[in-house]
Amino acid sequence: MTVGRDVAQALISAHGSPLYVYEAAVLRARARRLRRSIGRDGVRWFFAAKANGNREILKVLREEGWGVDAVSIGEVLAARTAGFTPAEITYNGNNVTDDELRAVAAEGVHISVDGLPQLRRVAALGLAPTVGLRLNPDVGAGHHHHVITGGPDAKFGAAPEELDEALSIARDAGIVIDGLQQHIGSGILDTDPWLAAVDVMLRHAERLPDLAFVDFGGGFGVPYRPEEHPFDVDAFGAAVTPRLDAFEKRVGRAIEWRFEPGRYPVCESGTLLVTVTAVKRTSRHLFVGVDSGMNHLIRPALYDAWHPIFNLSRPDAPTSVVRVAGQICESGDLLAVDRELPTPQEGDILAIGNAGAYGFAMASTYNLRPRPAEVMIDDDGATRVIRRRETIADLLG
Ligand SMILES: Cc1ncc(COP(=O)(O)O)c(C=O)c1O
């Protein structure tokens, strides 16, 4: 995180607090790093817009040569209005309605169905000549059990044993299953589970007579805690490339290889700036109350996630162990639990790092509190509002 005290103060003076701030340079650097990790043709990177659906973020990634992976019609339309063509968008939604499937197909966006029931519905509705199929490869990984999306407890995808039935449903309906998709989980920092999932997926992919693409999903982790190591994208690329080469040699043709990371490109580009509104000592804790909370960044409450926090206003003050609490009427509304920080005082600005992914995207209006504005710091250092601050009038509308 490079948003320093002066920039933070100026941004809050101009746009108010709390405030989401994104750095385009960081976003571009992470996006390029991933793209460079696999140095072969036929690889496409789709940004999972669920991590951050802001159109201006999507536009930067479009400039970096990425597509968009959408899980809802809303995300499809966000990508379309950000300038992506239908062919630059993938869609896979689970438990979605016929209306949503119709709307996605009407946009001309390719659908990967989540399992046999959705495949039957797409067939009955006559929506698409080709579909992908999401597979649950029975391999799961992730930073918290809520984000493990493969394996026996996950609601996603079709089981590998259902592949033959899927092919026969599709054949009867005159649909071609042209690709397999998977996503085993989120926040994966080790390459091993990832590679294991690649191997499983490639084994199943060989069973598809009309295979045009394989989509390995997202899940590339970023370190949040100082002791965590980064995901080794280069080692991953070096290990994956020969597997893809060997597969193409075996089947005798080129395949399109897709990845759909969300967190990796955007996470470290985003910071949530908040202002201290109260400092209160109880019999057990020193609570530092801020003008934000789980309504703007739910990850600590939902996943016990640890986000770096900096006291930008007094970095050199003597430290205390504090609980950073939000404004929401829930005891679980804590952004940090027992964290050593330069002791904050009312009015201090705190910066919460790694907030670019699943931050604003998961924000809510719980307690009827509006969501913050979002600001982009462009490559040349200029700043612009990329989403205006919500107002109470918006919520009462
Ligand atoms: C289908 C799918 N693709 C991609 C992603 C992005 O995951 P990540 O942000 O961990 O890269 C997710 C996240 O849950 C997902 O469900």
Q: What is the DSSP string of 253-267?
A: S--EEEE--SHHHHG
202 phi and psi, to 5 degrees? -65, -35
- Arithmetic mean of pLDDT, 109-124: 97
215/146: higher pLDDT: 215
| Ligand 1 pocket member 134 (CB < 6 A) | no
Q: Pick the catalytic residue from 152, 153, 329, 396.
A: 329
pLDDT digits over 304-323, tens only? 999 999 999 999 999 999 99
| Ligand 1 pocket member 7 (CB < 6 A) | no
What is the per-residue pLDDT for 26? 98
| Strand 130-134 with 176-181, pairing | parallel
292: CA distance to ligand 1 center in Å?
26
CA angle 225, 231, 236 (to 5 degrees): 170
CA atoms within 13 A on the CB side of 363: 27
**Residue indicated by tokens 């370190």:** 223
Hey, where are the domains in the chain? 5-21+267-396, 24-265
What is the per-residue pLDDT for 324? 98
Q: Which one-letter DSSP state was computed for residue 311?
A: E
What is the per-residue pLDDT for 3? 86
- State which ligand 1 atom lies nearest to the alpha carbon of 219: 10
Active site residue 329: yes
DSSP H or E run through 61: helix 55-63
Longest dimension (CA), the chain: 71
Helical packing angle, 163-173 and 116-125, nearest 10°: 0
325 forms bridges with which residues in the sheet? Answer: 289, 334
| Ligand 1 pocket member 18 (CB < 6 A) | no
Query: Across 247-396, where does the E strand assignment appear?
Result: 256-259, 270-281, 286-290, 309-311, 319-325, 334-342, 349-352, 373-377, 383-387
pLDDT digits over 381-397, tens only? 999 999 999 999 999 98
Torsion of CA 312, 318, 321, 327, to 10 degrees: -40
**CB count in 10 Å sphere of residue 188:** 24
| Ligand 1 pocket member 262 (CB < 6 A) | yes
Among 67, 69, 73, smallest CA distance to 85 is for 67
Cα–Cα distance measured from residue 59 to residue 66, given in angstroms and rounded to the nearest whole number: 9
For residue 3, give Cα distances in angstroms to 23, 43, 146.
8, 33, 31
What is the per-residue pLDDT for 148? 60
Look over the chain and give the mean of its residue pLDDT values, rounded to a whole number.
95
> Residue 283 is encoded by which pair of tokens?
């019999």
- Topology of the domain covering 24-265: TIM Barrel (3.20.20)
User: Is the pLDDT at 149 greater than 80, yes or no?
Assistant: no
| Ligand 1 pocket member 114 (CB < 6 A) | no
Q: What percent of the chain is modeled with pLDDT above 90?
A: 90
Torsion of CA 222, 224, 228, 233, to 10 degrees: 10
| Least confident window among 32-41, 113-122, 142-151, 306-315 | 142-151
Cα–Cα distance measured from residue 49 to residue 53, given in angstroms and rounded to the nearest whole number: 5
Task: Choose which residue among 111, 114, 149 to substitute to test ligand 1 binding: the one with the highest number of ligand atoms within 8 A of its C-beta.
Answer: 149
| Strand 270-281 with 349-352, pairing | antiparallel
48: CA distance to ligand 1 center in Å?
6
| Ligand 1 pocket member 217 (CB < 6 A) | yes
Task: Choose which residue among 155, 183, 220 to substitute to test ligand 1 binding: the one with the highest number of ligand atoms within 8 A of its C-beta.
Answer: 183
Whether the CB-CB separation of 69 and 260 falls below 8 Å is answered with yes
Whether the CB-CB separation of 177 and 130 falls below 8 Å is answered with yes
The CATH H-level superfamily of 5-21+267-396 is Lyase, Ornithine Decarboxylase; Chain A, domain 1 (2.40.37.10)
pLDDT digits over 261-277, tens only? 999 999 999 999 999 99
DSSP H or E run through 176: strand 176-181
Residue 41 neighbours by CB under 8 Å, 6+ apart: 254
pLDDT band at 153 (very low <50, low <70, confident <90, very high): confident
Residue with CA nearest ligand 1 atom 13? 186
Cα–Cα distance measured from residue 32 to residue 350, given in angstroms and rounded to the nearest whole number: 29
260: CA distance to ligand 1 center in Å?
7
| Least confident window among 16-30, 174-188, 257-271 | 174-188
Whether the CB-CB separation of 218 and 206 falls below 8 Å is answered with no
pLDDT digits over 93-112, tens only? 999 999 999 999 999 999 99
pLDDT digits over 240-260, tens only? 999 999 999 999 999 999 999
Cα–Cα distance measured from residue 319 to residue 342, given in angstroms and rounded to the nearest whole number: 4
141 phi and psi, to 5 degrees? -160, 165
Task: Choose which residue among 260, 299, 362 to substitute to test ligand 1 binding: the one with the highest number of ligand atoms within 8 A of its C-beta.
Answer: 260
What is the per-residue pLDDT for 141? 61
- Arithmetic mean of pLDDT, 51-77: 98
